[in-house]
Amino acid sequence: MLQLGLLLSWSGTALARAEAETSYTREQTFSAALRYLRVDLAYEVTEKDPDAAYLLFSFPAPELEQKTGHGSIEIVERDRSVRVLINLPQLPSYREDVLKRGLLDKLRLEYGEPAAPAERRKPQKPEKPEKPARPDGDAEKPPADAPESP
């Protein structure tokens, strides 16, 4: 019974992450995140995939035993927005919030205020075009030598 109590009271590593919704495009958000990590923060981007829209990175973290931390940024496109997920599993959650605010500030600085969600929506695929009307205004008629339908 004591073992069960210890197991239930053990918290392990928290898997907190910071999330943000933006009205910037997925491409804008990915590009800004990459520049923010590499240029502004001088973090090492260890893996990136613009098609899947994620970044893995490492950074100096003197407060950690191994002195290097690892993190990820995922960018998920939604109908009218883009969701940004920031994960720094080895650090307190406030560090994820700091990174999130910095990225959102960079987006505003580089791209201005985001477009309204309705303007950002992907265009719908056009429906099949109807057959154009004939110049004489009549609907298309079968050829004169075509057999009559019953």
- Residue 85 sits in a domain of what CATH number? 3.30.310.80
b vs e for 62-75, b when ≥16 Cβ sit within 10 Å of the residue's Cβ? eeeeeeebbbbbbb
**Does any domain span residue 11?**
no
Q: What is the DSSP string of 73-115?
A: EEEEE-SS-EEEEEE-TTS-HHHHHHHHHHHHHHHHHHH-SPP
Res 95 pLDDT > 50 = yes
Instruction: State percent of the chain over pLDDT 70.
Output: 66
Rama region for 67: left / alpha / beta (φ>0; ψ in -120 to 50; rest): left
Which of 77-86, 92-101, 119-128 comes out lowest in average pLDDT? Answer: 119-128
Average pLDDT over residues 81-108: 94
Beta bridge partners of 74: 54, 85
Which of 6-10, 29-33, 131-135 comes out lowest in average pLDDT? Answer: 6-10
Mean of per-residue pLDDT scores for the chain: 80
**Does any domain span residue 79?**
yes
Encode pLDDT of 37-52 as tens digits.
999 999 999 999 999 9
Q: How many domains does the chain have?
A: 1
Average pLDDT over residues 22-38: 96
**Does any domain span residue 5?**
no
**Does any domain span residue 80?**
yes
Beta bridge partners of 119: none
The pLDDT value given to residue 7: 36
Which residue range forms the structural domain that includes residue 25? 20-113
Whole-model pTM: value is 0.67
**Does any domain span residue 78?**
yes
**Does any domain span residue 73?**
yes
**Does any domain span residue 70?**
yes
Asked whether the beta carbons of 17 and 87 are under 8 A apart, the reply is yes
Nearest to 101 by CA among 11, 22, 14: 22
**Does any domain span residue 63?**
yes
Tell me the CB-side half-sphere exposure of residue 141, using CA atoms within 13 A.
Answer: 8
